[in-house]
Amino acid sequence: MFPDQILQFLLSGLTIGSIYALIALGFTIIYNTTGIINFAQGEFVMLGGMFMVGCTRLLHLPLPVGMLVTIMAVMLVGALIERLAIKPARNKSIVTLIIITIGVSIALKAAVAFFSKDSFTYPPFPGPEHVSIGNASLPGQSLWIMGTAGCIMAALWLFFHFTIRGKAMRACAINREAANIVGIDVEKMSLLSFGLSALIGAIAGIVVTPTTQMAWYRGTELGMKGFCAVILGGLGSSPGAVIGGLLLGLLETFGNYLFSGYRDAIAFSIFLLVIFIRPQGILRRK
Amino acid sequence: MAHLQVQGLHKTFDGITAVNDLYFDVRRNEICAIIGPNGAGKTTTFNLLSGVLPADRGKIFFDGNEILGLPPHDIARRGMVRTFQTVSLFDSMTVLDNVKVGCHGKAGAGLFSAALRTPGLRREEKEITKKAMEALKLLGVADRAYDQAGSLPFGQQRLVDIARALASDPEMILLDEPAAGLNAHETTELASLILALKNRGLTVMIIEHDMELIMEIADSIVVLDQGMKIACGPPADIQKDPRVITAYLGDED
């Protein structure tokens, strides 16, 4: 492998890794606040891409307006899922709630497939078509992806550490019962966590679609990769989600060079390895 | 009107009666102690009052309003807060943030102003920080405000727990065995602290095994045994009550 190639893979790996990191953060926020692993997380990404397709190609809305409409719509979907599917079953076991999210995921896929079973994309966002770094070349959209992911991570960090609402969500994550007893409305926090995760998922979908294609079935794969990243970094850890996502993106990209065509197999092999060897993930103590 | 009225409160677990048809009143601004042997239903009573557990039947009036069946956060916002036997701080957050989160229920700003950190929100945060610091000062742990809550020694964690409960400006505080695990010196300080809370206008309910502490600070005592109230009244009367002596020391026959 030449140094140039390494740089090239590094940049591609970090690009897709940023997307995995965002999806992993979505998982983490809902898990920390409610204890649920939301297997519809990938669907938020798919919906983000598909709504954006509708906004730009069907309605011909300007880019910023389309983004805003898409984000609002996906957040609404997230909030509805929480109110209609999760809240009524809130006193059931966590396993039941997780299975409900799988059902929701299937329903969302079917709903989109009902309108169209085709794959769509839209042009990259404004900017240079390609950026050269050393001898490596990067699509301009990659900068959008990494930049957006970086901004979201920073914004989340500020939210969780410097606002009373964010701190209340962290308190829920640490001890739900104690949070409830000091006056935090845990149900409202649950709704907030679904809204926030949908927001992050939608943005991930919006920025990733121009580099690939979006279709009704893509959410499952993206969601599973995000879940791999969560397990890799350590379930419940936000820095773990980011590191797990980036690492997974890199391992996948380099692994794909060594064993061409086994990209997905690599991701899930890593997943199994972590589960067997270090089930608490990289960043979590036992 | 009594600050808290408990009427016919009843709770069973799998057929075992934990709280049996309980009636008592707590007057405004008094220190009311609940005592009784282990398993008498004291903590269960607190759990029912604070909404942590649902009751089988009965009525609880706080400030004249029925609160039985309301979720815990709602009861906390109405001004009745509590601490647990086992201190449950948010360990990985700072002491100050722990207490600030205790004021969260009263914070009004919505999600979007929270995301944008509007001027109104900044003012609110400032006020909350001020309130939280006051509560920490009252408990004498303000110097630990920026330390991680989990790193504090046990006695101080307990004080932070009480500060967190106080930060939301409650009218009534329920303390579940606050002296457990404290040394003699800390217990004396706790006693003067509880009296200070009373002087600030709070109504205090306390579960405690330390009889010396109870006899010193309580205005009235409710004695439970096997879920039933066997006596209630001022400390001097309770000390002489034969039923209480029997419950504590066993029957002499």
Q: How distant is the Cα of B101 from the closest Cα of chain A, in angstroms?
A: 6
Given A167, A174, A186, which is nearest B91 (Cβ)? A174
- Measured in angstroms, the CA of A277 and the nearest CA of chain B are apart by 27
Asked if the Cβ–Cβ distance from B73 to A180 is below 8 Å, we say: yes
Query: In this complex, how many residue pairs, one in chain A and one in chain B, have their CB atoms less than 8 Å apart?
Result: 94
Q: How far is it, in rounded angstroms, from Cα B77 to Cα B238?
A: 34
Q: Which residues of A touch B (CB under 8 A)?
A: 155, 159, 162-168, 170-171, 174-175, 177-187, 192, 195
Give the confidence band of B109 by pLDDT, cuts at 50, 70, 90. Answer: very low
Chain A residues in contact with B90 by the CB 8 A cut-off are: 170-171, 174-175, 178-179
Integer Cα distance of B107 and B128 in angstroms: 8
Counting every residue, how long is chain B?
253
Cβ contacts of A177 on chain B, cutoff 8 Å: 52, 88
**If you write DSSP's letter for every residue of A203-228 in order, what string do you get?**
HHHHHHGGGS-B-TTHHHHHHHHHHH
A221 vs A269: CA distance, rounded Å: 15
- In this prediction the ipTM stands at 0.78
* b/e sequence A54-77, b meaning 16+ C-beta within 10 Å: bbbeeeebeeeebbebbbebbbeb
In this predicted structure, what is the pLDDT of residue A136? 86
**Beta pairing class for B31-35 and B203-207:** parallel
- For residue B88, list chain A residues with Cβ-Cβ distance below 8 A: 175, 177-178
Whether the per-residue pLDDT at B229 is higher than 90: the answer is yes
- At B14, list the tokens: 């799998």
pLDDT score at B111: 47
* Separation between Cα atoms, residue B104 and residue A179, nearest integer Å: 10
CA distance B43 to B19: 10
Tell me if A159 and B103 make a contact (CB, 8 A cut-off): no
Tell me what the mean pLDDT of segment A27-50 comes to: 95
Question: Closest by alpha carbon to A24, among A5, A37, A11?
Answer: A37
- What distance in Å separates the CA atoms of residue B75 and residue B65, rounded to the nearest whole number? 11
**Residue B176 · residue B46 · CB < 8 Å:** yes
CB-CB under 8 Å, A195 with B111: yes
Q: Which residue of A has its CA nearest to B102?
A: A182
**How far is the alpha carbon of B221 from chain A, nearest alpha carbon, in Å?**
25
What confidence score (pLDDT) does residue A1 get? 66
Contact between B43 and B85 under an 8 Å Cβ cutoff? The reply is: yes
Model confidence at B116: pLDDT above 70? no
pLDDT at residue B87 tops 90: no
Q: What would the pLDDT profile of A92-126 be if each residue is shown by its tens digit?
A: 999 999 999 999 999 999 999 999 999 999 999 99
Q: By percentage, how much of chain B surpasses pLDDT 70?
A: 91
Model confidence, pTM: 0.86
* Coil, helix or strand at residue B50: coil
pLDDT digits (tens, 9 = 90+) for B158-192: 999 999 999 888 999 999 999 988 888 889 999 99
| Integer CA distances (angstroms), B212 to A235, B183, B204, in order | 48, 14, 17
Pairwise CB contact (< 8 Å): B100 & A167 = yes
User: What mean pLDDT is predicted for residues B13-32?
Assistant: 93
Selecting from A159, A171, A192 the residue whose C-beta is nearest the C-beta of B90 gives A171
Q: Which helix (H) or strand (E) holds B127?
A: helix B119-138
For B152, residues 6+ apart whose C-beta sits below 8 A from its C-beta are B95, B141, B144, B160
Those residues whose C-beta lies under 8 Å from the C-beta of residue B36, and which sit 6 or more positions away, are: B42, B223, B224, B225, B247
Looking at residue A259, its pLDDT comes to 85
Q: Which amino acid is at A151?
A: C
| Residue range A55-104, pLDDT digits in tens | 999 999 999 999 999 999 999 999 999 999 999 998 899 999 999 999 99
Percentage of residues in chain A having pLDDT higher than 90:
72
Domain definitions of chain A by residue range:
11-130+147-216
* Residue A262 tokens, joined: 């086994």
More confident residue, A281 or A229: A229
For B93, the closest of A170, A187, A195 (CB atoms) is A170
- CA gap B41, B224 in Å, rounded: 7
Predicted pLDDT at A78: 97
Q: Mean pLDDT over all residues of chain B?
A: 88
Sheet holding B57-62, edge to edge: B16-26, B4-13, B57-62, B65-66
Residue indicated by tokens 């405004």: B28
Q: What's the whole-number mean pLDDT along residues A168-185?
A: 88
The SS3 of residue B252 is: coil
The sign of the torsion formed by the CA atoms of B128, B134, B139, B144 equals positive
Let me know: does A34 contact A192? Beta carbons within 8 Å. Answer: no
B49-84 pLDDT tens trace: 999 999 999 999 999 999 998 999 999 989 999 998
pLDDT of residue B133: 92
Q: How many CA atoms lie within 13 A of B67 on its CB side?
A: 28
Q: How confident is the model at residue B103 (pLDDT cuts 50, 70, 90)?
A: confident
Written as six digits, the tokens of B184 are 């003699």
Residue recorded with tokens 């497939």: A113
Is the Cβ pair A167, B84 closer than 8 Å? Answer: no
DSSP state letters, A169-193: HHHHHH-HHHHHHTT--HHHHHHHH
Q: Which of A1-10, A61-70, B161-170, B201-210 has the lowest mean pLDDT?
A: A1-10
Long-range contacts of A101-106 (CB under 8 A, 24+ apart): A101/A36, A101/A37, A101/A38, A101/A39, A101/A40, A102/A39, A102/A40, A104/A40, A104/A43, A105/A39, A105/A40, A105/A42, A105/A43, A105/A219, A105/A220, A105/A223
Cα nearest neighbour of B110 on chain A:
A165
User: To the nearest whole angstrom, how far is the Cα of B217 from the nearest Cα of chain A?
Assistant: 25
Q: pLDDT (tens digit, 9 = 90+) per residue, A186-240? A: 889 999 999 999 999 999 999 999 998 999 999 999 999 999 999 999 998 999 9
A161 DSSP 8-state letter: H
Contact B207, B177 (CB under 8 A): yes
- pLDDT value at position B114? 53
Task: Read off the amino acid at residue A148.
Answer: T
CA closest to B84 among chain A residues: A178
- pLDDT value of position B155: 87
Q: Tell me how crowded residue B208 is: count the other CB atoms within 10 A of its CB.
A: 23
What is residue B248's predicted lDDT score, i.e. its pLDDT? 74
- Among all chains, which residue has been given the structure tokens 């610091």? B133
Best B50, B90, B160 member to test A by mutation, with max A CBs in 10 Å, is: B90
**The pLDDT of residue B118:** 65
